[in-house]
Each structure stands twice: as structure tokens, then as C-alpha cells.
Amino acid sequence: MSQVFSEETHRNLLARIPHCTGREISDWLRTVEEGPALRFEEKVSWLRHEYDLAYGHAKAIIHEYDLRRAARKLL
């Protein structure tokens, strides 16, 4: 079962990702964009295994990607 993060937890995870991974959020979002077309949890698993990310970081990246993609569709 996947964890549900609050908005505050999501923001905190995003803020720590560059420090923990050495890559900016924009780099991770580009990686997801260029990666395989998978469902949410499959993308999380792909990031975790392909880039050795913690579950929380991978989930935060995918969630942020989905939020930004949805915002683009609304414009």
C-alpha cells in the first residue's frame, strides 16, 4: 500500500531531494518525462531501482511530475 503524504511533507521531501541526490528537481522531472510510460507506482518503482532512490523521494518526484503535468493541461 502506498503512503499518503501531506502537502507539507511533500514540500519538505522536494526541498531535500537536491541535497540527498545531487540533482535538482528539474533534472528529475526531465528524467521522468523521458522515461517509460508507466502508472504512478510503476514509475516510483522504476525511479527507485534505476536510480537507487528512497521510496519517499521517488514518490515525491512522481507526484510533483503529475501535479505539473496536470497544471499544463489546465492552461
* Residue 72: per-residue pLDDT: 86
74 band by pLDDT with thresholds 50, 70 and 90: confident
How many C-beta atoms lie closer than 10 Å to residue 28's C-beta? Answer: 24
Provide mean pLDDT across the span 52-60. 96
The predicted structure's pLDDT at residue 2: 54
Closest CA to 58 of 67, 47, 49: 47
Per-residue pLDDT tens digits for 25-47: 999 999 999 999 999 999 999 99
In sequence order, the 6+-apart residues with CB closer than 8 A to the CB of 40 are 62, 66
Q: Is the CB of residue 59 less than 8 Å from the CB of residue 27? A: no
The model carries a pTM of 0.89
Q: Which three cell numbers mark 11?
A: 514540500
What percent of the chain is modeled with pLDDT above 70?
Answer: 95
10 contacts 66 by C-beta, under 8 angstroms: no
